[in-house]
């Protein structure tokens, strides 16, 4: 396995004011997690890859991110939630149940 985890952030912007993850700061969340993963030495082969994604079709639960290969979907509302995903799931392999969709 080249990466232990991939985390994909929906950064989709929907037209005509329809609800979407980007309306909830998804790009900022992506940049924050990408930076923290690098700072913590978790990135790179054998570690974590932080990716942007188009629409993940879970707009009603947004903003959303999904961690593979575990197939765990998360909704988050700020840096505390993002830190929990980084510290518990991406670092320690434990699903953050309170954020799971």
Residue 48 confidence class, pLDDT cut points 50, 70, 90:
very high
Instruction: Name the residue with higher pLDDT: 31 or 59.
Output: 31
For range 55-72, the mean pLDDT: 89
pTM value?
0.93
The predicted structure's pLDDT at residue 6: 97
Mean pLDDT of 55-70: 88
Q: How many domains does the chain have?
A: 1
Domain containing residue 9: CATH number: 3.40.30.10
CA R_g for the chain = 13
Residue 52: phi, psi to the nearest 5?
A: -85, 150
The 10s digit of each residue's pLDDT in 1-27 is 799 999 999 988 777 767 788 888 899
Query: Residue 72 is encoded by which pair of tokens?
Result: 């765990």
Query: Could you check whether the bond before residue 69 is cis, i.e. omega within 30 degrees of 0?
Result: yes
Q: Are 20 and 62 in contact (CB under 8 A)?
A: yes
Query: Does residue 62 register a pLDDT over 80?
Result: no
Range of the domain at 15: 5-99
| Residue 74 CA: distances (Å) to CA of 22, 93, 97 | 15, 14, 9
Which helix (H) or strand (E) element contains residue 38?
Answer: helix 26-39
């Amino acid at each position: 396995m080249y990466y232990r985890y991939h985390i994909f952030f929906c950064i989709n912007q929907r037209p005509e004011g329809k609800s979407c993850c980007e309306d909830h700061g998804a790009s900022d969340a992506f940049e924050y997690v990408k930076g923290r993963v690098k700072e913590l030495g978790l990135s790179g082969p054998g570690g974590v890859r932080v990716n942007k994604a188009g629409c993940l079709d879970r707009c009603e639960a947004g903003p959303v991110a999904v961690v593979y290969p575990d197939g765990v979907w998360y909704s988050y509302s700020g840096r505390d939630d993002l830190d929990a995903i980084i510290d518990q799931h991406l670092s320690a392999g434990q699903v953050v149940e309170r954020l799971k969709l």
